[in-house]
C-alpha cells in the first residue's frame, strides 16, 4: 500500500480502528515504514496538524495587522486579537466535533473513505441535508478562492519592496504561474515539511518586524489617533476576524491525520502560539509609525530597507506559496469530484485536471490588487459565515434532539457543564458575528473597498506604490 501513498488522498484507518490502536502499535507501524521520503512527505501526526494550523493561520495577514491597529487603536487591537483568536478556536473545535460525528455515523453504515477526502460540505450534507451542503459549498469555496487571491496579491505586494523594476501587476502574473505548481501536491498529508518551514518563516518575519520597529524607534511627531472613524474601526476589526478565521481547511487537515479524534484542541494550541507572533509585531510597528500605517497596509513599506527586511520578504513569499496551496487544495478536491477525477492515481493527470482552478484566482488578483482592504471585505462577507456562523448553527441543529445529544460521538468538553451552556455559547457566536462581523464589518469593509476602487481603479497597475520619481531612485540599487 505504501508505494501508492503519493497519489493517495486519505488512506487513513477507519475512525473506529484509530480508537482501538494504542500508541505503541502506531509507533511500531510508523517505524516499520520509515524512510527519509516519508519523513518529509507523509504527515498525519498531531504535530503535523499543529504545524499545519499554526502555519496556515497567519501568512500575509501578519503584515496587515499593524494597519488594523492604526484603524482600531492599540487597546482595541489587542482585545480583538485575543477575542477573535479564542472565538476562532471554539468554532474550529465545533467543526472537529461535527466531523467525528459524521464519520462515526457513516462508518456504522459501513461506508469506506479509502481514497476519498471528507470535506466540510459533505459533513454538512450528511448531518443536515442537501440545503446545508449547498450553503457550505458556496461559502467555503468562495472563501478559499478569495483566500488564494489574497496570497497572490500579497506575493506581488511584497516582492515589490525588493525589486521595483517591475510593477505589482507584472509580479502578479509571474507569481500566478509559480503558485500554479501547487497542483502537483496531492493532499494535506504531503505538506509536512512545508508546514514546518512555513511556521519558521512567519516566526522570523514577526520577530523581525518587532525588533526592527523597536530599533527604528518612533518617527518624528508620531500620532496614534485611532480609533477616530467608525468605518475604519470596523474595517480593522473585521481584518482580525479574517486573521483567526483560517480554519476553512480544518476538515481536510483532520482527515489527513492518523487519529483525527486528537484534533479537538490543536487549533487552540496553534492560536496561542500565533498570539506570540501577532501581538508583539503589530503593537511594535504601530507604536513606531502610528497613523502613517493608515496609508500603508503592508508593514514592509515603512520598515527601513536592510538585509534583514529582504530576508523577511523572501521568506514571506515562500510562505505565501505554501498558504496558496493550503487554500487551493480543498478547491482542487471539489473540482476533481465534479469532473470525476478524484479517485485517479496519477499525480500528473490530476495536476492537469486541477489547472482550471488557478486561472480565475489569477484573474481576480489582477482585478482587485487591494492588499489589506480585500482582507476585511473577505472577512466580513465570507469568513463570518464560513467559519463562525455556519459551524455554530450546524452544531446546534445537529444536536437539537435529545437522542442526538445522548448518542453523540463526543462528550461535552470539561469546561461546558451541560447542553444549555453549549447552546448559549453557540448562539452568542452566531449573533455576535452576524451583527458585528457581517453587519457592521460588512458595511465598513465594503465602504473602504469601494473607496480603493474609486481611488486606484480596477486592474490597478501598482497599488499604493510610491510616485515614479521616488521609484526611479530606488531602481539604481538593482
Q: Which of 458, 449, 463, 296 is nearest to 377 (CA)?
A: 449
pLDDT for 277 beyond 90: yes
pLDDT confidence of residue 19: 41
Q: Answer yes or no: are the C-beta atoms of 172 and 153 closer than 8 Å.
A: yes
Q: At what angle do helices 307-339 and 192-216 cross, to 10 degrees?
A: 150
pLDDT confidence of residue 40: 54
Residue 230: alpha-carbon gap to chain centroid: 27
pLDDT mean over 114-118 = 77
DSSP structural state of residue 467: P
pLDDT for 138 beyond 50: yes
DSSP structural state of residue 383: I
Helix H or strand E segment including 34 = none
Write the pLDDT tens digit of every residue in 241-253. 988 887 667 887 8
Write the pLDDT tens digit of every residue in 181-199. 888 877 766 677 888 888 9
pLDDT confidence of residue 15: 57
pLDDT confidence of residue 468: 59
DSSP structural state of residue 99: H
Number of Cα atoms under 13 Å in the Cβ half of residue 49: 27
pLDDT mean over 136-157 = 86
Residue 470's CB is within 10 A of a number of other CB atoms, namely 10
Write the pLDDT tens digit of every residue in 30-81. 444 455 555 555 567 888 889 888 888 887 788 889 999 999 999 999 999 9
Kindly report whether the global pTM for this prediction surpasses the value 0.75.
yes
Amino acid at each position: 500500500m505504501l508505494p501508492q501513498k503519493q497519489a493517495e488522498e486519505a488512506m487513513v484507518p477507519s475512525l473506529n480502528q484509530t480508537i482501538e490502536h494504542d500508541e505503541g502499535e502506531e509507533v511500531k507501524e510508523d517505524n516499520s515504514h520509515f524512510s527519509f521520503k516519508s519523513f518529509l512527505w507523509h504527515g498525519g501526526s498531531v504535530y503535523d496538524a499543529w504545524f499545519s494550523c499554526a502555519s496556515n493561520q497567519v501568512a500575509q495577514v501578519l503584515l496587515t495587522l499593524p494597519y488594523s491597529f492604526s484603524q482600531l487603536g492599540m487597546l482595541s487591537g489587542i482585545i480583538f486579537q485575543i477575542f477573535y483568536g479564542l472565538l476562532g478556536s471554539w468554532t474550529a473545535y465545533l467543526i472537529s466535533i461535527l466531523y467525528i460525528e459524521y464519520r462515526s455515523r457513516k462508518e456504522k453504515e459501513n461506508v469506506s473513505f479509502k481514497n476519498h477526502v471528507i470535506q466540510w460540505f459533505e459533513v454538512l450534507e450528511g448531518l443536515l441535508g442537501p440545503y446545508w451542503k449547498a450553503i457550505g459549498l458556496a461559502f467555503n469555496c468562495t472563501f478559499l478562492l478569495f483566500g488564494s487571491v489574497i496570497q497572490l496579491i500579497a506575493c506581488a505586494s511584497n516582492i515589490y519592496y525588493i525589486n521595483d523594476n517591475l510593477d505589482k501587476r507584472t509580479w502578479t502574473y509571474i507569481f500566478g504561474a509559480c503558485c500554479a505548481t501547487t497542483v502537483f501536491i496531492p493532499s494535506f498529508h504531503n505538506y509536512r515539511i512545508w508546514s514546518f518551514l512555513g511556521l519558521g518563516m512567519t516566526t522570523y518575519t514577526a520577530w523581525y518586524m518587532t525588533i526592527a520597529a523597536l530599533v527604528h524607534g518612533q518617527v518624528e511627531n508620531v500620532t496614534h489617533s485611532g480609533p477616530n472613524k467608525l468605518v475604519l474601526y470596523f474595517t480593522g476589526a473585521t481584518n482580525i476576524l479574517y486573521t483567526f478565521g483560517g480554519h476553512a481547511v480544518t476538515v481536510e487537515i483532520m482527515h489527513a491525520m492518523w487519529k483525527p479524534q486528537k484534533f479537538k484542541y490543536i487549533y487552540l494550541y496553534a492560536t496561542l502560539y500565533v498570539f506570540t507572533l501577532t501581538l508583539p509585531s503589530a503593537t511594535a510597528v504601530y507604536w513606531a509609525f502610528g497613523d502613517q500605517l493608515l496609508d500603508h497596509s503592508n508593514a514592509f513599506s515603512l520598515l527601513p530597507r536592510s538585509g534583514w527586511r529582504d530576508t523577511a520578504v523572501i521568506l514571506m513569499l515562500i510562505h505565501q506559496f505554501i498558504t496558496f496551496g493550503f487554500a487551493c487544495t480543498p478547491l482542487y478536491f471539489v473540482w476533481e469530484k465534479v469532473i470525476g477525477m478524484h479517485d485517479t492515481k496519477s499525480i500528473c493527470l490530476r495536476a492537469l485536471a486541477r489547472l482550471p482552478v488557478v486561472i480565475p484566482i489569477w484573474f481576480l488578483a489582477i482585478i482587485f490588487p487591494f492588499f489589506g482592504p480585500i482582507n476585511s471585505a473577505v472577512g466580513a462577507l465570507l469568513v463570518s459565515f464560513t467559519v463562525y456562523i455556519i459551524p455554530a448553527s450546524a452544531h446546534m441543529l445537529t444536536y437539537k434532539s435529545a437522542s442526538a445529544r445522548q448518542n453523540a460521538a463526543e462528550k461535552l468538553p470539561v469546561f461546558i457543564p451541560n447542553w444549555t451552556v453549549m447552546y448559549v455559547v453557540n448562539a452568542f457566536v452566531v449573533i455576535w458575528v452576524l451583527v458585528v462581523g457581517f453587519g457592521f464589518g460588512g458595511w465598513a469593509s465594503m465602504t473602504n473597498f469601494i473607496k480603493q476602487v474609486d481611488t486606484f481603479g480596477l486592474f490597478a497597475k501598482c497599488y499604493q506604490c510610491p510616485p515614479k520619481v521616488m521609484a526611479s531612485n530606488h531602481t539604481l540599487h538593482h
